Amino acid sequence: MAALLAACGGESSSDANEPSGTYRVQVTEASFPTEQRLGQTSLMQLGIKNSGRKTVPALTVTVTIAGKAGANSSLPFGVHDPQAGLALPDRPVWVLAETYPRLVGSSEPGGATTSNRKTFDFGPLKPGETTKAVWKLSAVKAGHFTLMYRVDAGLSGSAKAETGKNGIVPGGSFVTEITQELPETEVTDSGEIVEIPPKKNGNGGGGE
C-alpha cells in the first residue's frame, strides 16, 4: 500500500524550502461505511495526531483506490478506464461534495487542494495537537473497492511522517461494497447528491 500511494505523491516548487526530517504522526481514528448503495452519501473521517516534539510543516493526506485502475486515475476517489478513445477515462467511484474535506465542527473547507488531486493539505500541526477531517462522498459506481489513505508531513518529500521508530508510514484502508440498490435522491444547488428520506405512512387518527 505504501509503495502504491508513494507513486501518487505530488511535489510543488513552492515547497522547496520545506524543512526536512522525520515527524511522529499517528492516526487516532478512521471510519468509512463498509456497505453503501449507489446514490448514498457517506462520511469518511480521519483523526490525526502529532505525537512528536516538532511542528509538522504540512499535514497531508493522500487518497487513492487500490489496484491498477485506481493508481492510474488522477481522481482520489476514482478509477481509470483503459478503453481507448475515451474523452474522460477517469471515472469517479465517489463524488466529493463541494467545500469538502472539512475539519470536524467547521463549515469551511479544511483541506487545501494541491498540484496532485489525490493529496489534501491541512497545514501545520503543532506537537500534541490532533486534527479531525471529514470527506463527504456520494457513491456513483457499484462494486467492491479498497480505498487507501496515507499521511505525510509535507508536500516536497523532505518532511516525512512515521508512526514511531519502526519507520512505518501512517495510513490505512477501507474495504467497501457499493450495491446497485438505488435510493431516491436529489441534487442540491451545490451539486451534492443527497438521499430523500422515505415518506412515512400515517393515519389521520380521526373518525367521522
Closest CA to 39 of 190, 181, 204: 181
pLDDT on residue 11:
41
In a domain, 180, yes or no: yes
Residue 176: CB atoms within 10 Å: 22
Question: For position 150, which CATH number holds?
Answer: 2.60.40.10
Q: What is the pLDDT of residue 41?
A: 95
> What pLDDT sits at residue 29?
97
pLDDT of 109-140, one tens digit each?
Answer: 777 778 889 999 999 999 999 999 999 999 99
**Does 76 fall in a domain?**
yes
Question: 201 in a domain, yes or no?
Answer: no
Domain that holds residue 108: 2-7+22-80+88-195
**Spans of the chain, pLDDT less than 50:** 3-4, 6-14, 204-208
Specify if 164 maps to a domain. yes
As for how many domains the chain has, the answer is: 1
CA atoms 104, 48, 195, 139: torsion sign: positive
In a domain, 12, yes or no: no
Q: What is the pLDDT of residue 191?
A: 73
Grid coordinates given for 157: 518529500
